[in-house]
Structure 1
Amino acid sequence: MRLTAITERLAGLGGGKWEVHLKARQMAAAGADLIEMTIGEPDVPTPPELTGAAAQAMQAGRTGYSDGRGEAHLRAALAEAYTDSRGRGFGPENILCFPGTQTALYAVLQGVAEPGTEVLVGDPMYATYEGVIRASGADMVPVPLRPEAGFRMQASDLAARITPRSRAILLTTPHNPTGAILTPQDLRDIGALARQHDLWIISDEVYEHLVFEGAEFVSPLSDPALSDRVVAVSSISKSHAAPGFRSGWCAAPEAFCTALLPVSETMLFGNQPFIADMTEKAVREGSSVASGMASRFAARADLLVQRLHAETDLRVHRPEAGMFALIDVSATGMDGDAYAWDLLEHGAAVMPGSAFGDSLKDWVRVALTIDDQSFAAAIDRIAAHANRKTRSVA
């Protein structure tokens, strides 16, 4: 039977990136003594006030069809929140609601990219970005995020890769997997290139509320000079420990939202009213769990840096936000893929950096979301394993 071109474009971009994680789950199910640090989920359950709000809304009959743009009261709440946090005005007409950031990204890319165009994105990148770009038919153009620049996108690296086919720049700030945050100057420089070459800026800001002490998040949405070309996507998955509820949105120019609405309605025709009610509560009241998560994740990152730098030849990039840290494993003589598979046999599961881009071939990503006791035990295993490997290299 014949299939379409999109299946060819996306071939190999699905679960293959998560082979180490899936193998770890199989080993754990079979009884292996294994500490999993592969994926990042909040380390607390969804707050009961939110699950209670969703249940109450269901019991009240909020289970019918939704407005294709998203429930009006949720869009109003989001518009008010963005007006307060970005320093310029937003209205409900600037918001479209989706089931999670991933769906929002897919729809937005359908709206700005197509076959024959290019989307520039930082390398390393979140594992699904290549898929959402290629699904549109566009070509992905990786822009190296260099460790010596703190893994922040540099305008000079971006400028060198812009062509007449370029259509959009996909940013992540705070970044996954590096935890880097773009500075105001970074955004001014990137914004100047976007204006010069008439490019969209798509900003994935899902980790906005998991910024560590001493760091500061700034959104390109805050710059009035970019108001006609920035589309931000986010959700309550990280900030409110509610990944399974799949509630996200995009904030964008009114004309963009109007043009994208038929794409959104073709995909899903609005999010679930009872989840919208819960999300409105989350947006209006803020998160009761985000600051605690950020504090714990920062402390675990600091412990990882302190111990591995003191006890091994591994080097850790300390994140400024988010749920992950990166470890340079080149001192072991292995690349990140070989290292992750070898470490799996010694009781700890981490993600090979290559799952997030070619530039991380000598790195692995570790989740900071497991409990403190398990995290310390995992560091024990990583340190012992690294020292065995570096001695054998020497």
Structure 2
Amino acid sequence: MKYASVTERLKHLGSAKWDLHFRARALAAAGRDILEFTIGEPDVPTPDSLIQAATRAMQAGRTGYSNGRGEPETVAAIARRYAARRGRPIGTDQVICITGTQTALYGILRTLVETGDEVLLGDPLYATYEGLIAQTGATMVPVPLRPEHGFRMQAADVEARITPRTRVLFLNTPHNPTGAVLRREEIAALGEVARKHDLWILSDEVYEDLVFPGVAFTSPLDLPDLAERTVIAASISKSHAAPGFRSGWVIGPSEFISRMLPLSETMLFGAQPFIADMTALAVSEPSPVAAGMTERFARRAAMFFKGLDGVAGLRVHRPEAGMFTLLDVRATGLSGEAFARSLLEEQSVAAMPGESFGSSLGGWLRISLTQDDARVAEAIRRIAAHAARLQGHAA
């Protein structure tokens, strides 16, 4: 029997990257006390105000079909949010509501590229991005995000990789897995390259509300001269601790939205009205949980840095935002994959191998900041002991 070519393009780009996480969950189910630092699950429940809003909407009968663009009040609330944050008008014709950032990115890329096209994307990268590009038939062109630049994309590195087939510059700021936040001048320089080569700018901004103190967030949508070529994806998954509700949106030029809308309608034809009502409330006022998460994640990142940087040759990259920190384990002589596997089996600490996030993170781990401080302290102790044991064996 024959299958569509997309199944071949994606066959190695699915859940296999999360094998270590699944192994850790299996060990925990078997009774092992696993310290789990693998995924970016918010460390607080969804705010009760949002749960109650969804409940009231269901009880009021808001369980029927929606339309493809999204419930009018929700679309309007998102447009108002972005107009207020970006300091210029954003119309409802520039918004599509869609089920989460992942689906938003799927639809955006499907609208912009196809077989033969190229998408420039920073490496390291979030684990699903490669598949999101591959599903279109386009080719991912990695742009190195260098530690000496704080893992922030540089315009010269982008320019060096542009070909006649390049169509999209894919940004992620704040960045997963590095926690890097692009500076305004860096976005302006990247935007100049995009204008010069007539590229779209796609920006995943799901961590916008989780930027650490002392760091300023800038979106390419903040720069008026980039607005005509910029498309934004975001959701309430991180900012409002609501990943299971799968509620996101796309912001872009009105012509782009009109092009994407039939695709969105073909995929989903609307989300759940009761979740839309909850989302309208969420985006209409400050998140009741984002500030607390930001404070805790920044504190835990500092704990990992203080406890592990320089220990047994380990180096810690301090994030500027988000839910993760990076640990460089190359001094142990092991790959990130091998270190993470042995750390799980011998110390019952689960962290993601850097190799799951691109070739440039070979020999690194991505460590979640969403466990409580006591478990963070214990994980630091076990990781330090593991690295010291490996160093002793190497000696």
Q: C-alpha offsets along residues 288-324 of structure 1, whole Å, 9 cap, x if unaligned? A: 0000000000000001000112543210000000000
CA 318–31 in structure 1, closer or farther in 2 if over 3 Å, else same: same
In 2, distance between residues paired with 1:347 and 1:279?
A: 38
Secondary structure, counterpart of 1:171 in structure 2? strand
Q: How far has the Cα of 1:331 moved from its partner?
A: 1.1
In 2, distance between residues paired with 1:78 and 1:331?
A: 47
Secondary structure, counterpart of 2:228 in structure 1? coil
Q: C-alpha offsets along residues 324-344 of structure 1, whole Å, 9 cap, x if unaligned? A: 000000111101011000101
Alignment of 1:1-394 (within 5 A): 1-309=1-309, 311-345=311-345, 346-394=347-395
Letter in 2 for 1:205: E
Tell me, which stretches of 5 or more residues in structure 2 are unaligned? none
In 2, distance between residues paired with 1:285 and 1:86?
A: 16
Q: How far has the Cα of 1:270 moved from its partner?
A: 1.3
Letter in 2 for 1:377: E
Letter in 2 for 1:218: T
In 1, distance between residues paired with 2:185 and 2:224?
A: 15
Q: C-alpha offsets along residues 352-389 of structure 1, whole Å, 9 cap, x if unaligned? A: 00100000001010000011111111111111101111
In 2, distance between residues paired with 1:164 and 1:14?
A: 29
Q: C-alpha offsets along residues 154-185 of structure 1, whole Å, 9 cap, x if unaligned? A: 11111110000000011000000000000011
In 2, distance between residues paired with 1:39 and 1:195?
A: 36
In 2, distance between residues paired with 1:33 and 1:59?
A: 40
| TM-score normalised per structure 2 | 0.99
Secondary structure, counterpart of 1:161 in structure 2? coil
Q: C-alpha offsets along residues 242-300 of structure 1, whole Å, 9 cap, x if unaligned? A: 00000000100000000110000000011111000000000012200000000000000
Q: How far has the Cα of 1:74 moved from its partner?
A: 0.6
Secondary structure, counterpart of 1:250 in structure 2? strand
In 2, distance between residues paired with 1:264 and 1:33?
A: 43
Deviating beyond 6 angstroms after TM superposition, the runs of 4 or more aligned structure 1 residues are: none
In 2, distance between residues paired with 1:309 and 1:251?
A: 40
Secondary structure, counterpart of 2:288 in structure 1? coil
Q: CA RMSD in A?
A: 0.7
Secondary structure, counterpart of 1:65 in structure 2? coil
In 1, distance between residues paired with 2:266 and 2:33?
A: 46
| 238-247 vs 306-315, which moves further | 306-315
In 2, distance between residues paired with 1:33 and 1:136?
A: 41
* % identity of equivalent residues: 59
In 2, distance between residues paired with 1:118 and 1:309?
A: 38
